[in-house]
Amino acid sequence: MGNFMKKIILLGLVSILGGCSVAPIQLPNNVSTISASSAGDTYIDKIDYSFNSTGTSFSKLKLCAAENFQNDDIVLHDQAGSFIGAYTGRYYENNNTQVHQGKSVFKYLDENEKTFIANGNVKTKGQQAGLITDFVKYDVKVALKENKVQFVMSNILRAQQNTGTSSNNGFRQVGTWAGARAPGVIEALDGVAHKYQNCILAN
């Protein structure tokens, strides 16, 4: 069995095991969760990155959003249906892909209320020994209220980039139990939020 095939099989096993439900992990205080199953499993609902900013204009909030939120096309892969020939011993690989088209960053804009809703996506770092990478989609609501920037991410979904020999089921809610890779998702969103905050606070 070649190294490539071993890696694909291992990816499939990690993907299956990563979906097993266990006790919730400890989450940062700015993360709120929601229960979405009869088993009591919880999922990430919202992440609040609101911060104080004196003298910020709504125009700057929009400009920094355009500069820092990306909503690119996403391509997901799997090798489901691959097999080893019974007589030849050769590995016959299926390369399946699904494309999620990117959209405009801005979904809603109200100049009078100084509020907008944007959407974007980001890629996580390699997790679980570097074998798994996720794409994360999110909505973000930003509003300017006096000297505070209300900045809340919601509708947070993740999808594994390549699920190996398991079928890739696309985007799902982010579970908060061990193995569901919530820390990697939060880290990726933290990076987006910090870039946005730094853009707003820069002179």
Domains and CATH numbers, the chain: 3-21+28-201 (3.30.530)
DSSP string, 189-203: HHHHHHHHHHHHH--
How is residue 152 written in tokens? Answer: 């809340």
Classify residue 91 by its DSSP letter.
Answer: E
* In contact, 67 and 199? CB cutoff 8 Å: yes
Containing H/E element for 137? Answer: strand 134-145
pLDDT greater than 50 at residue 90: yes
Gap between the Cα atoms of 29 and 101, Å rounded: 33
> Residue 58: its pLDDT value, please?
96
pTM as predicted:
0.84
Give the mean model confidence (pLDDT) for residues 73-99.
Answer: 84
Per-residue pLDDT averaged across 76-104, rounded? 83
